[in-house]
Amino acid sequence: MKNIGKAAVIGSGMMGPGIAVTLSLGGVETTILSRTPEGATRAAHRAMRLSIELADSGLMPQGAALVSASAELETVVPEADLVIESIPENLEIKQDLFAQLDGLAKPDAVLASNTSSLSITAIAERSKHPERILTTHFWNPPHLMRLVEIVKGERTAEDNVIAVRDLLARCGKLPVVLRKDTPGQVGNRLQFALLREAIHIVEQGIASVEDVDAVVKNGFGIRMPVYGIFEHQDVVGLDTCKAVMDYVVGSLNSDPTTPKLLAERSAEGRGFYEPGQLDHEAVRNRRDAFVRHLLTGR
């Protein structure tokens, strides 16, 4: 069995520090890599704050995090057994990075991408050893969310998938292995199918943005942590499921292009809510507090 004792996480922004703290929960000595010393310092401080948050919630021992930060990629990567990148979702940039990592990392190291949508087979295209490249898609916030989607590329070796799966389970995560490399993986395919229909409902004047969110949060969303989509259908009965689907499915949006409302708001630099209507920090804090409650029962 492959031993993963040291890891490097490339990316000091939103996801990197949380991924690093997660790996440290499995006893892995982890270094966050940033482009600059200043970025590395900020990443180290954020990792420390996340570790304190987990310790205060009883989700990790006090002072247990094995996390450092550096701007020296060419020094850190050759020592790592696992390298996870968490940089912007740009295929060409990721391809360039993985080709570089392929030449820097030791032969038995695993190279992983935190991509939430891109093909890992395409990301590995310029690398000489695609058998050691796979996806580890951590859900945000990565230090709290249990799910990690592992995607096996067309040439990824099975032993690397098993090694990363077992490590993530040791870190307290729920790793799900996707055997087929597909755009958006599983979680984002489901999430964006829901988003497309939600936007369609608003565009059709059926309900407001606020009311659609209220339906999601106070309807099916509130039971989903313990009640999966297929579990629900089996419990209520597939005869009922079919009857509802027969009646509703024809009115659902199936347009294969980005909805007009989303494209317009994005081009204008706006959100779905009006400016000043949504406190982003308050939303994130509410989300994190809810996830901590689910994990700890307090």
Per residue in 64-81, pLDDT (tens digit) is: 678 999 999 999 999 999
Give mean pLDDT, residues 84-96. 97
Report if residue 262 sits inside a domain. Answer: yes
Residue 109, token pair as written in the block? 């190291």
CA dihedral 251, 253, 259, 260 (to 10 degrees): -30
pLDDT at 249 over 90: yes
**Main-chain phi, psi angles of 172, to 5 degrees:** 90, 10
pTM of the model: 0.94
Tell me how far apart the alpha carbons of residues 227 and 225 are, in angstroms, rounded to a whole number.
6
Domain boundary among 115, 146, 178: 178
Report if residue 1 sits inside a domain. Answer: no
pLDDT tier for residue 61 given thresholds of 50, 70 and 90: confident
Helix (H) or strand (E) holding 14, with range, is none
Cβ burial of 64 (10 Å; 0-12, 13-18, 19+) is middle
Residue 38, token pair as written in the block? 């200043």
Report if residue 226 sits inside a domain. Answer: yes
pLDDT at site 60: 87
* Domains: count for the chain: 2
Domain of 147 in residue numbering reads as 6-178
Beta-sheet pairing, 82-85 with 67-70:
unpaired
Catalytic residues: 116, 137, 149, 188
What mean pLDDT, rounded, does the chain reach? 96
Say if residue 158 is in the same domain as residue 219.
Answer: no
pLDDT at site 236: 96
Cβ burial of 170 (10 Å; 0-12, 13-18, 19+) is middle
Tell me how far apart the alpha carbons of residues 21 and 7 are, in angstroms, rounded to a whole number.
11
pLDDT at site 298: 83
Domain boundary among 178, 212, 237: 178
pLDDT at 248 over 90: yes
pLDDT at site 87: 96
Which segment of 104-113, 200-209, 288-297 scores lowest on mean pLDDT? 288-297
Q: Where are the alpha helices (DSSP H) in the chain?
A: 16-25, 37-56, 73-76, 91-104, 120-123, 158-170, 187-203, 209-218, 229-236, 238-248, 260-267, 280-296
Say if residue 73 is in the same domain as residue 111.
Answer: yes
Give mean pLDDT, residues 8-12. 95
Give mean pLDDT, residues 19-44. 96
* 178-232 residue pLDDT tens: 999 999 999 999 999 999 999 999 999 999 999 999 999 999 999 999 999 999 9
Which of 172, 165, 157 is CA-nearest to residue 136?
165
Q: CATH number of the domain at 164, please.
A: 3.40.50.720
pLDDT at site 26: 92
Report if residue 183 sits inside a domain. Answer: no
pLDDT at site 63: 66
Cβ burial of 25 (10 Å; 0-12, 13-18, 19+) is buried
* 256-265 residue pLDDT tens: 999 999 999 9
pLDDT at site 232: 96
Give, in order, the Cα–Cα distances in Å from 198 to each of 73, 100, 256, 266: 42, 41, 15, 16
